[in-house]
Structure 1
Amino acid sequence: MIKGYLAAAMLVGLVGAAMPTVSMAEEGAKATAVRSEVGKPIQAALDLIKAKKTKEALAKVRDAEAVKDRTPYEIYLTERVKAQAYASAGDAMAAARAFESAAALPGAPAAERTTLLSAAAGQYYSGRDYAKAAAISGRYLKDGGTDATMRTIYVQSLYLSGDFAGTAKALSAELQGQKKPSEEQLQMLAQAYLKLNDQTSYSKTVERLLSNYPKKEYWQSVIYAVKQQPGMSDRLALDLSRLLRATGTLRTSAEYEDAVALALQQGYPIEAKKAYDEGMAAKIMGQGSDADRHRRLGDMTNKQLAEDKQALGTQDAQAVAAKDGNAQVNLGYNYVLHGQADKGLEMMEAGIKKGGLKRPEDAKLRLGYAYYVAGKRAKAIQVMKTVTGTDGAATLAGLWSIYLSQSN
């Protein structure tokens, strides 16, 4: 759906942000509990790390490890400095294992365990062991860690390790109550639902993307997803093409041809003409081997439009006298398309009020679109929000409400 979304979200530069460091001076009273045979090589290792001589630093760490009968704190201190040396050397996996080991040692101060877990998770992430990064950062959060970087690493690691259900669960909880989540969060959540083949949740998430970050690629994705929904009726194909035209997401010659043909079939040649002219102006229609067929389609459209203009107004009395409002809705909509908005909208409203409509929700969807064509956006949104049902009309009306609320 969205190319490059993950690259924008990955915060590789943060993986070492929580990496703890240690110096003998910082240990204060604890340092006095470290015997010189351990403390001297550890201090030397720290000095070598600072001088970027990590190979020599690791040799000093091994000297400290060779001391017999080390206390729990000495074992912890040695492991922690070893982790720092590996991290400075760029050996992310060795550093990750050492930080994880240090956090689990009996001699590790309780107050420092979350910091060590944070460093381990960051190093596992840097080393691309995303399953371990997710597990460790998850432990960090469970233990009460509050670093926002770790929450980011946790969610991204779940996704990158292929745990899409876990990703969706974690992100859904994180986004709950947020008025405007980040674009990257919504992108990842949408992708997780797509991987899970949860089309309903996917569509809702992309709709949320549209509400906050309206982009053509998102409109293409959500309209395509809506088109594939089992409840979307074929009779709404023209309504779908109207939304595609409005959002500028008609992409192919075939899609423009469908928009023209559907409008002609439903008796609105002026709408067909507008779609045809747009396709020709964009040089999507009228090109190559399709040029002759498109010319014939244009001729047919012009012929029917001439006939429609001539017939406009001749059926009004019959429509008003009818027992149901179907004809009034259709004729009123045609008047709006022909630029007679006030007359057309009044006729559509009267037809809906009269009732007896074959598909009342479709009629309200059409009325909302007519208000949009007439330039009355606030009224269009108001009408769109009244559309209900489960066969697609309400879904399209919801998308129209989002679009109309954002566009100028």
Structure 2
Amino acid sequence: MVQSTVEAFGMSCDFEGEIIEILYDNLGVVNGDKIGKPFSDLLDGGSTGKTFDFIKKIQNEDAVYNWEFNLICEGELTPINVSGFLVDHKILIFGGRSIETVQLMDEMTRINNEQTNKLRGVMKYFAAYLREQESKENQIYAELGRLNNELTNAQRELTKKNIQLTKLNQQKEMLIKEVHHRVKNNLMIISSLLNLQSNYLKDEESKEIFKESQNRAKSMALIHERLYRSIDLKNIDFKEYITTLANDLYRTYVKDPSRVSLQMIIEDVNIDINSAIPLGLILNELITNSMKHAFPDGRKGTVSISFEEKDDEFILKVSDDGIGFPSDLDYTKTNSLGMQLVTSLTSQINGKIELDRDHGTKFTLTFKELGL
């Protein structure tokens, strides 16, 4: 059970209102073994009817805010502000002596619900898109870019609240991790949906578009998986992320490992969410470009990736010793949506990208930490 200096309690109940787990309690609400007992056992005898209405309203409306009950706290009847939420067919009940404590928990739940609703909207969009098979490329990429911006803004809001509300840090971290877990799960659902629907496509070009879109969704999901595991948003292990993403793409695009090899020199570097999501998408595009186009007609070679922090700058290099980037093509003005994403996202993190066409293709990206 989590302990806190805030005068509050939190518990998990089943759908009927019987207590499953006490999340935290420093009000003395839990007097004896209450696991498996109804929530009404914590109240005075005159509140049974009101408790039934409280649980029933949560079941019907998913959330109930700021009800006042007289709870037995350390043997005394005490007025407590209580809110309840329906999550995955379980009821979470939070309460505290001050209404501000409950309002904070309400706010965190609202942020989680808003983000989940946005992701549901994206999934509905993809379903309609797949049925109609219209605007196969631009609509998917535009929606993924919009989703990336919305998720980044949501993370900034959550991080600012973490700084402002240090006294409720343990409770808040629990909810933040749940948001990242749900975001990651929904992005993986989008990726799986694209994979399933691609099986119904006839032409290879359309299948390739869906594969690239699927990889972009997975690259963002990997970021949120790292956030779910991290202690804080300033401590994402980007070495592990690059290694996982590069190996996934290698298995996807390189059918003969004896012909094309993958080399990585990655320092132990931690970066925050504001840089991680756009950098992950840039990395996805550059690695994919080398593995798909650098070694045609059975040509052999190596794709190399390096990432380091030097002074106050981060340096990412993705290179290959393949046929080279076309000399007559300006990557900043190409119609390729992948290179357009690289240029746009580089600007988003205030970075600088350079192309070296000698001995194959080498992109070098330098940027500084954006901060929160």
TM-score by length of 1: 0.29
Bigger proportion of residues as helix: 1
Bigger proportion of residues as strand: 2
Which structure is richer in relative contact order (CA contacts within 8 A, separation 6 or more)? Answer: 2
Q: In terms of Rg, which structure is larger?
A: 1
